[in-house]
Amino acid sequence: MIPILLFIAALPRIHDGKPEPAGYVKVPPPVVRIRANQAGPTGIPWIDANGWRFERGLRKAFYATLPRGAAALAAAEAYAYGVDALIQPDEADRPSLAKMLEYLESIDQPAMPLMANIGVIDDGSAIAGEVMNMLGRRNLLYRVVSKPDPKLTVTVSPTGAEARNPSTFAARIREKVTDDKRLVRLFNASTVVARLTGDGTRARLHLINYSGRPITDLRVRVLGGYGRVQPFPKDVVTEAGAVEFTVPELATYMVVDLEPARRAVSLHSKSDFDLTADPAAAQWRNVPAVHIDRKFMNGVLPGQPTEVRSRWTAGNLYLLFSCPFDELHLKPEPQTESDTNKLWDWDVAEVFLGSEFDHIGHYREFEVSPRGEWVDLDIDRDHPGNEQGIGWNSGFVVKARVDQARKIWYGEMRIPFASLGVKSARAGVELRTGFYRCAGTPPNRWFAAWSATGQRSFHGPHAFGRLRLE
């Protein structure tokens, strides 16, 4: 899990010339083969992959005279391992190879260090190579080391008799690492090989599908405190120290980028206080703000951002939104005695709050408008039949104020912790949180997020950040 080798490799290139390119080593085509009873005790398909060759140091690969159907996979494999590769495709594969190269170019970024659980002291032997092949095949992430590294879970030197059956040896290594500590686990696919790179904050997961056909509903578990997963797959679950998600369909190759969740803090207050909707009030002065500064699909939103501040007491969570505006888009005939359905069609500040980290699709939505209209909803994206929707009432209260001179409106909320499922509010408690803003008059309506959802809706709990009580 520490930086080892950083390669800046060119994208794979097509080699049309007859002579073999100098300095490049021929590698076999990547393929899957069904070899019943020869692929280890689980009977999973046999894969010819080159990852182990690349990990042990081959940096210039020549995929010569590839069979039909292998070119795009070869390009993906080389790219995933940061190898300088030349590819001789079958003529029929040129369109799919071009498409793959286009994809690789679109995702290309400087390589990050390789992440691994296992260190392999490689003596260059065939057995050591096959052990690495078997580790890679089982998605037991490894890297080659010259001596044991205490930062890795385990370091092995596959030279003795115990390594003579590389498949069994890999299985024993897995037992030593334990599945819970594995950096990556894949479910519902037996022909996908993963490679993980990262810089200690961000990570990039490469998923290479050797099967030759699309894989649906690939389930992925990555160890680490990543709160944001792109390109926004479905069924995201974050639990102690890991994130899980489903890739709906994996064709030949894709990368998944993982980033830490955005973070905000709520400062403790010994006693409850009256709502003022005023950042200059004593209870709000010197409270740090986070900014709703992203387009909800992604990208930075130009202009002055919306600010959000938070405080908490034993019983309540307080939020203060400071919302710059050019013009207000207000609902006619406002009323503040009860929920206003579809308040989100007008100017509002919103917060989504969830306390269930193993069921992130269940959360609560709170909105306030510049004139103090409000709505609160119970949302369950996983079990829509269970959610109470607008029929749910949290008991939260709001206050709003418009400063026309400064062109800022303020909305303040007091939300009972009991309504959020927080049984005991104390320092260190975290809530899964999204802050949002709907503003502008059609057709110049705009939508902003603290943590972009990457979809045309705020309801993307996979992208929630964290609000920590301090």
The least distance separating another protein from the CB of residue 306, rounded to whole angstroms, comes to: 33
Residues 6+ apart with CB under 8 A from 50: 27, 28, 30, 58, 61, 77, 78, 81
Establish if 202 lies at the interface with another protein (CB under 8 A).
no
Site stretch for another protein (CB under 8 A), options 167-175, 259-267, 307-315, 450-458? 167-175
User: Strands, DSSP E only, in 157-211?
Assistant: 184-187, 192-198, 203-209
CB 46 within 8 A of CB 32: yes
The contact mask relative to another protein for 345-364 (x = CB under 8 A, - = no) is: -------------xx-----
Q: Among 48, 90, 217, 339, which residue interacts with another protein (rule: CB under 8 A)?
A: 217
Task: Round to whole Å and give the CA distance between 51 and 136.
Answer: 7
Q: How many residues bind another protein (CB under 8 A)?
A: 25
Which of 9, 14, 44, 390 lies at the binding interface for another protein (CB under 8 A)? 44
Cβ proximity to another protein, 138 vs 262, nearer residue? 138
User: Of 24-43, which residues contact another protein (CB under 8 A)?
Assistant: 41-42
Which residues between 366 and 385 bind another protein (CB under 8 A)?
382-383
- CA count, 13 A, side-chain hemisphere, 135: 35
- The least distance separating another protein from the CB of residue 188, rounded to whole angstroms, comes to 7
The helix (run of H) or strand (run of E) holding residue 253 is strand 253-260
In 3D space, the residue among 5, 130, 4, 11 whose CA is nearest the CA of residue 78 turns out to be 11
User: What is the rounded CA–CA span in Å between residue 153 and residue 285?
Assistant: 47
- Options 11-19, 56-64, 185-193, 287-295: segment touching another protein (CB under 8 A): 185-193
Q: Is 65 in the site for another protein (CB under 8 A)?
A: no
Rounded CA separation 96/73 (Å) = 9
In the complex with another protein, the residue whose CB is nearer, 41 or 428, is 41
- Residue among 48, 90, 235, 339 that touches another protein (CB under 8 A): 235
From 127-135, 172-180, 255-263, 454-462, give the range in contact with another protein by CB under 8 A. 172-180
> What's the token pair of residue 295?
């387009």
Q: Which of 105, 108, 162, 179 binds another protein (CB under 8 A)?
A: 179
Q: What is the per-residue binding string for another protein in 91-130, x denoting contact by CB under 8 A? A: ----------------------------------------
Least distance from another protein to the Cβ atom of residue 442, Å: 35
Going by C-alpha positions, the residue among 383, 391, 380 that lies closest to residue 461 is 380
- Taking the complex as a whole, the smallest distance from the CB of residue 138 to another protein amounts, in Å, to 6
User: Phi and psi for 173 in degrees, rounded to 5?
Assistant: -65, -40
Which part of the chain contacts another protein (CB under 8 A), choosing from 86-94, 122-130, 180-188, 264-272? 180-188
| Beta pairing class for 446-449 and 294-295 | antiparallel
Q: How far is the CB of 246 from another protein (least distance, A)?
A: 5
CB within 8 Å of 187: residues ≥ 6 apart:
218, 219, 220, 221
Task: Measure the CA–CA gap between 424 and 34, rounded to whole angstroms.
Answer: 55
Among 174, 309, 432, 437, binds another protein (CB under 8 A): 174
Q: Closest approach of Cβ 186 to another protein, in Å? A: 8
- Is residue 46 part of the contact set for another protein (CB under 8 A)? no
- Residue nearer to another protein on the CB measure, 157 or 246: 246
DSSP conformation letters of 12-81: PEE---SSPPTT-EE-PPPEEE--TT-S-TT-PPEEE--HHHHHTT--EEEE-SPPTT-HHHHHHHHHHT
The total of other beta-carbon atoms located within 10 Å of residue 41's CB is 9
Per CB under 8 A, the list member of 66, 237, 400, 422 interacting with another protein is 237
| CB closer to another protein, 86 vs 237 | 237
Q: Among the candidate windows 21-29, 214-222, 287-295, 425-433, which touches another protein by CB under 8 A? A: 214-222
Contacts of 107 (CB under 8 A, 6+ apart): 255
With the C-alpha atoms ordered 267, 272, 275, 279, is the resulting torsion angle positive or negative?
A: negative
Q: Of 70, 186, 223, 431, which one interacts with another protein (CB under 8 A)?
A: 186
CB contact at 8 A, 319 and 283: no
Nearer to another protein, 262 or 432 (CB): 432
Let me know the angle formed at the C-alpha of 139 by 134 and 145, rounded to the nearest 5 degrees: 70
Using the minimum distance from each CB to another protein, give the nearer residue, 163 or 351: 163
**Least Å distance between CB 219 and another protein?**
5
162 binds another protein (CB under 8 A): no
Which DSSP category does 451 fall into? S
Task: Note whether 388 binds another protein by CB under 8 A.
Answer: no
The CA distance from 325 to 407, in Å, is 6
Interface contacts to another protein, rule CB under 8 A? 41-42, 44, 138-139, 171, 174-175, 179, 186-190, 216-217, 219, 235, 237, 244, 246, 358-359, 382-383
